[in-house]
Amino acid sequence: MLILFTSITVTLLLATVIMMLSSILAKKVISDREKSSPFECGFDPKNSARLPFSLRFFLIAIIFLIFDVEITLLLPISTILTMAPTKTLFKMSLFFLTILLLGLYHEWNQGALDWSE
C-alpha cells in the first residue's frame, strides 16, 4: 500500500512540476499589430478577416457530434444480442435510448433545433 501511495505521489508531483515549467517557459507573448493582422502582401488589410461565426451553426455541430457518438455506441447492441441475456440487454438498451430521447427533448425544448429564428 505504501508503494502505491508513494508512486501516486511521485507521479502527481512530477506532473505538477512539468506543467508549471511548461507554463513558465512557454510564455512568449509579443503583442505586435502586424503579427496579429492577416497577411495581405505586406499591405494593411482593407477589412477585418475575422468574420463573425454563427453560434447556431456551432451548436448544431456539437449536437450532431454528440448524437453521432451515441449512435456509434448503439451499433454494437445488435452484435451483443447473442452473448448477453435478453432481459439485461433490453434494460440497458431501453435505459440508453431513454437518455438519448430525453437529451433530444431537452434540446428541442430549449429551441436549439429551430432554424427559423
Estimate to the nearest angstrom the gap between the alpha carbon of 52 and the chain centroid: 21
Q: Say if residue 15's pLDDT is above 60.
A: yes
* pTM score: 0.45
C-alpha cell at 4: 502505491
CB atoms within 10 A of CB 97: 13
Residue 72 CA: distances (Å) to CA of 41, 47, 87, 115:
46, 43, 22, 26
The answer for residues whose C-beta is within 8 angstroms of residue 59's C-beta and 6 or more apart is 112
Residues 41-72 have pLDDT tens digits of: 666 666 666 677 777 788 788 888 888 888 88
